[in-house]
C-alpha cells in the first residue's frame, strides 16, 4: 500500500515512517508542509494519505485543506487526518461528501501501534475510522436534547459508540465479549430508535450514525 505522509515534526514523521514500513506500507513521500503535500498527492497517486491537520506555512488547517482539495480532484481518496485536539469542525468537513475512506484520530492514538495501523488499513480499504473522543463529544452534545438517543439502553450506547468509530459487528462483539448475534440485535434496535435505515455495509452505517449525531451541529 502506497502512503503519502505529512507531518511537520521531524521525530514524529520519522517514527511514523518506520512504523508504517514495519507493517508493510510503502512510504512514497514523507513531507512537512502544505505545498509539498499538494504536490505529492497530485503526482504520486497514493493508496492512502496520512495527514497532520496543522502544517506550514499557515499552521492552521493547512493539512486538512490539502487533503480535501485532493479528494475533490480524486473522489474517494483515502485520507486519515491526525490532530492534537478534538475539532468537530474538522471531522464534519472530512465527512461532508459522505463517500467514506476517511479517518480522524488524535495524535495520542499513534502511540498505540496496533490501533493506528488498524485505522490506516481500514481507511485505505474504504472504511471509516473516527477517534473515540470525537464520538464521545458528539454523543454528549446530543444526549440532552435528542429524545431518540435518550431511549437507547446503556449497552446500546456502548455499541453505538463503537459502531460510529468504524467497528464491524465482529469487532464490537469481541470487544464487549458477547456474541455477534447479540450485537446484530443491538444494532437493529439502535437504527430503529434513531429512525435510520438498517444497513449491513459497515461504512454506510458509520456515516449514517455520524450524520445523525452531528446534525444541527
CATH 3.40.50.2300 domain locations along the chain? 2-130, 134-214
C-alpha distances out from residue 66 to 35, 76, 158, 159, Å: 8, 14, 34, 33
Among 141-145, 151-155, 167-171, 189-193, the range scoring the smallest mean pLDDT is 141-145
Could you write out the three-class secondary structure of 165-184?
Answer: CCCCHHHHHHHHCCCHHHHH
- The pLDDT confidence band at residue 144, using thresholds 50, 70 and 90, is low
Q: Which residue has the cell 446503556?
A: 154
216 pLDDT more than 60: no
Predicted confidence at residue 79, as pLDDT, reads 96
For residue 146, count other CB atoms closer than 10 A to its CB: 17
Q: Which CATH number fits domain 2-130: 3.40.50.460, 3.90.79.10, 1.20.58.1610, 3.40.50.2300?
A: 3.40.50.2300
Residue 140 vs residue 172, higher pLDDT: 172
Q: State how beta strands 79-83 and 48-52 pair.
A: parallel
Mean local confidence (pLDDT), 26-47: 97
Q: What is the grid cell recorded at 26?
A: 510503502
Predicted confidence at residue 146, as pLDDT, reads 63
| 201 contacts 191 by C-beta, under 8 angstroms | no
User: Which helix (H) or strand (E) segment is 5 a member of?
Assistant: strand 2-6
Predicted confidence at residue 196, as pLDDT, reads 83
Give the Cα separation of 148 and 193 in Å (integer). 6
Mean local confidence (pLDDT), 168-174: 92
Give the Cα separation of 70 and 90 in Å (integer). 16
Domain 134-214 has CATH 3.40.50.2300: yes
Q: Which residue has the cell 471509516?
A: 128
Among 12-21, 23-32, 129-138, the range scoring the smallest mean pLDDT is 129-138
Residue 23 vs residue 127, higher pLDDT: 23
Half-sphere exposure of 131 (CA within 13 A, CB side): 24
C-alpha distances out from residue 22 to 15, 16, 42, 79, 146, Å: 11, 10, 26, 20, 44
pLDDT single digits (tens) 173-191: 999 999 999 999 999 999 8
Mean local confidence (pLDDT), 15-30: 97
Mean local confidence (pLDDT), 25-51: 97
Give the Cα separation of 21 and 195 in Å (integer). 43
Q: Rounded to 5 degrees, what are φ and ψ at 73?
A: -75, -35
Mean local confidence (pLDDT), 62-87: 92
- The pLDDT confidence band at residue 106, using thresholds 50, 70 and 90, is very high
Positive or negative torsion for Cα 213, 211, 103, 51: negative
Mean local confidence (pLDDT), 44-63: 94
Amino acid at each position: 500500500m502506497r502512503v503519502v505522509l505529512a507531518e511537520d515534526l521531524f521525530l514524529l514523521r520519522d517514527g511514523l515512517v518506520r512504523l508504517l514500513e514495519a507493517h508493510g506500507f510503502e512510504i512514497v513521500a514523507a513531507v512537512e508542509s502544505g505545498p509539498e503535500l499538494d504536490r505529492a498527492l497530485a503526482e504520486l497517486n497514493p493508496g492512502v494519505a496520512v495527514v497532520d491537520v496543522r502544517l506550514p506555512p499557515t499552521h492552521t488547517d493547512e493539512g486538512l485543506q490539502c487533503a480535501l482539495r485532493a479528494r475533490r480532484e480524486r473522489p474517494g481518496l483515502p485520507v486519515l487526518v491526525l490532530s492534537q485536539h478534538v475539532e468537530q469542525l474538522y471531522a464534519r468537513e472530512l465527512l461532508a461528501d459522505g463517500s467514506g475512506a476517511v479517518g480522524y484520530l488524535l495524535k495520542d492514538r499513534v502511540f498505540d501501534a496496533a490501533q493506528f495501523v488498524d485505522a490506516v488499513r481500514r481507511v485505505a480499504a474504504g472504511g471509516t475510522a473516527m477517534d473515540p473522543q470525537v464520538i464521545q463529544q458528539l454523543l454528549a452534545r446530543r444526549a440532552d436534547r435528542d429524545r431518540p438517543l435518550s431511549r437507547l439502553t446503556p449497552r446500546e450506547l456502548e455499541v453505538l459508540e463503537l459502531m460510529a468509530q468504524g467497528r464491524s459487528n465482529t469487532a464490537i462483539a469481541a470487544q464487549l465479549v458477547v456474541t455477534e448475534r447479540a450485537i446484530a440485535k443491538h444494532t437493529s434496535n439502535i437504527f430503529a430508535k434513531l429512525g435510520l435505515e438498517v444497513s449491513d455495509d459497515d461504512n454506510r452505517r458509520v456515516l449514517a450514525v455520524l450524520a445523525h449525531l452531528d446534525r444541527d451541529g
